[in-house]
Amino acid sequence: MTQVRLFDSIFTRLVAWSIAVCIVVVLVLGALVGAKFEQLSTATQEAAVNADVATLAEAYRANGVTGLGRRINERLAFSAPAGAAPHYLLVDADGATVTGNVPAWPEAMEIGEEPTPMVLSDGTRVYARALMLAEGKLFVARESSLDEMILNEIGFAFVAGGLFVVFAVGVAGRITTARLSRRVDHIIEAFQNPDERRLERLSKDRKAEDEIGELTRRTSETLTRLNHLVDSQRETTDLIAHEMRTPLMHLDSRILKSLKTAPDDTTAQGLSEARADIRGVITMLESLLDISHSEAHRGDPRGLHPVDLSDLLQHVAEIYEASAEETGHHFEWDIAPNITFPGEEMQLTRLVTNLLDNAFKYVPTGGTVILSLAEGPEITVSDTGPGIPPEDRDAIFDRFRRAKGNDGSSGGSGLGLALARAIARRHGLDIRLKPTLRGATFIVGREKENGENVS
C-alpha cells in the first residue's frame, strides 16, 4: 500500500491544528490573566499608598511632626515581605531629613493626589505619593517588585501548564489519530486488494457508529457486491468462451475433413483460408478473454507467487536466439541475475513473448532486437526497426489499434500490446514506449501513483 507521508496526512494536520489552537488559547489566557493581575496589583498598590498617606496625615494632625516621625519609625521597625517594603521620608521646611529610610528627596517627585510609579536612586521600583505639610513634606512609597515576582510566577505557571496541555493534546491526538488512520488504512487496503482477508478485517470496523464506521459499512458492502459482479462476469465470459470455442473447433475439424477430400485446388485453398480465419477468431477470442481476466484481477495478489524472472527470461532468450538465426535477425540480451518477482509465470512469459514477437515482426532482416532485465524489476525490449510514428504512440496499447502502415497483413489482430499492458498491470507493473530516434523501446516497470512506470 502507498504510504502517505507524515506531514501530508490529514490526521497529522488535525493534531498540529489542535496543538496550535491550544498554544493560542494558553497564550491568550496568559495575556488576559497577566493583564488582569497587573491591573489589580496597580489598584492594590495605589490603595495601600493612599491608606498609608491618610494614616500618617492623621498622625501629623494629632501630634505634629514629632508624632508623625514616631509613627514612621514604628512602621519601619516592622519587617515587611521582600518586595513589598514601605519607604518613607519626612523633611522639614528647609529640606533637611527628619526621619525615614529614603536617603534624599527624589528629584522627579512632585506633590500630588494620586500615587505614581517611579524608581528610587537605588533602583527599587515603587508606587509613591508626596504630601505637603505645614512644616515640611512627606514622601510615602511601597515596593512593587513582589507583584512583579508573582506575575512572573504566574507566567511561568502558564508556560509549564501550557506545555503540559500541548503535550497531552499531542499524545492524545496521536493515539486517537493512529487508531483512525489504521481504520482508514483498512479501507484503502480493501479498495486496492479486495480479497477475503481484507474484507473480513474491514468487517470488524463496521460496528463503530461514527463517520468512519459508516464509511466502512458502505465500503464493505460495495466491495463485496463488486466482487460478486466480477465473479459473475468471469463465469459468464468463461461460459461464452467455451460455448464459442467449442463449435468453432468442431467447424475447423469438419473443414479439415473436407480439405482431405477437396475435389480441386481452388476449393482446397478456400477451405484452408477458412481454417485460418477460424483459428484467427479463436486466437482473438482467447486474447480478449485473457485481457478481461487480467484487468479483472488488477491489484489482486491472489494467484501470484514468487517467480525467478532472471531464469524465466534466460529461457525465453535462448528460445528466441534460435528463432532469430532462422529469420536472419540479430538477437542480444542482458539479464541481471537473481531477480525475483511475485506473479504468474505463464502470464509473465506471455508478456515478454508478446513484446518480442512484436519486435521481430516489424524489424527487417538483419535488424537487431535486444532484451534486458534490471533491478526494479525493469524489463526492456528494444529494436532497430522502423519505430512507431509519434501520432500512434499514445494509442498502440488500445485494443484493435495498429501503428500507421500496419493494415493487418502481418497477421496481427491489434491485441498483442493491449494484452501485454493488461498482464503488466495485473502484476502492478506498466508498459511505456520510450521516445527514441530509431526503432522502438518498450519498458516494463513498476507503476507510479501518477500512472507512469518507475524506470
For every residue of 220-258, DSSP letters joined together read HHHHHHHHHHHHHHHHHHHHHHHHHHHHHHHHHHHHHHH
Alpha helices (H) along 80-210: 145-192, 196-203
Give the span between the Cα atoms of 322 and 320, in whole angstroms: 5
pLDDT exceeding 90 applies to what percent of the chain? 4
Give the span between the Cα atoms of 278 and 313, in whole angstroms: 32
Give the span between the Cα atoms of 6 and 297, in whole angstroms: 31
The domain defined by 8-151 folds into: Beta-Lactamase (3.30.450)
Using only C-alpha atoms, the chain has a radius of gyration, in whole angstroms, of: 47
Phi/psi of residue 18, nearest 5 degrees: -65, -45
Phi/psi of residue 372, nearest 5 degrees: -140, 155
Give me the DSSP letters along 76-114. HHS---TT--EEEEEEETTS-EEEES-SS--TT--B-SS
What average pLDDT does the chain have?
79
- The reply to whether domains 8-151 and 305-446 share a CATH topology is no
Asked if the model's pLDDT at residue 290 lies above 80, the reply is: no
Question: Residues, the chain, total?
Answer: 455
Alpha helices (H) along 300-443: 309-327, 345-362, 416-426
Other CB atoms within 10 Å distance of the CB of residue 205: 19
Asked if the model's pLDDT at residue 124 lies above 80, the reply is: yes
For CA atoms 75, 76, 80, 86, the dihedral sign is: positive
Phi/psi of residue 310, nearest 5 degrees: -60, -45
The per-residue pLDDT for 371 is 92
The per-residue pLDDT for 451 is 43
When pLDDT is cut at 50, 70 and 90, the band that residue 140 belongs to is very high
The per-residue pLDDT for 180 is 75
Per the CB < 8 A criterion, the answer to whether 128 and 144 are in contact is no
Which residues have a Cβ under 8 Å from the Cβ of 41 and sit 6 or more positions away? 144, 147, 150, 151
The per-residue pLDDT for 267 is 74
Task: Indicate the SS3 state at residue 429.
Answer: strand
Pairing outcome for strands 86-92 and 429-434: unpaired
Residue at grid coordinates 508624632: 67
Give the span between the Cα atoms of 97 and 244, in whole angstroms: 125
Q: CA end-to-end span of the chain, whole Å?
A: 19
Asked if the model's pLDDT at residue 6 lies above 60, the reply is: no
Give the span between the Cα atoms of 32 and 36, in whole angstroms: 6
The string of pLDDT tens digits covering residues 340-389 is 888 888 888 888 888 888 888 888 888 889 999 988 889 999 988 888 87
The cell for 94 is: 528647609
Residue at grid coordinates 512506470: 453
**Across 37-41, 230-234, 373-377, least confident range:** 230-234
Phi/psi of residue 164, nearest 5 degrees: -65, -45
Class (C level, CATH) for 305-446: alpha beta
Give the span between the Cα atoms of 174 and 64, in whole angstroms: 73
Give the span between the Cα atoms of 100 and 365, in whole angstroms: 119
When pLDDT is cut at 50, 70 and 90, the band that residue 3 belongs to is low
pTM greater than the 0.85 cutoff: no
Centroid of chain to Cα 267: 69
The cell for 224 is: 463485496
What residue spans define the domains of the chain?
8-151, 231-296, 305-446
Mean pLDDT of 126-153: 86
Between the ranges 99-113, 191-205, 272-286, 291-305, where is the mean pLDDT highest?
99-113
Task: Indicate the SS3 state at residue 451.
Answer: coil
What letter does residue 445 receive in the DSSP assignment? E
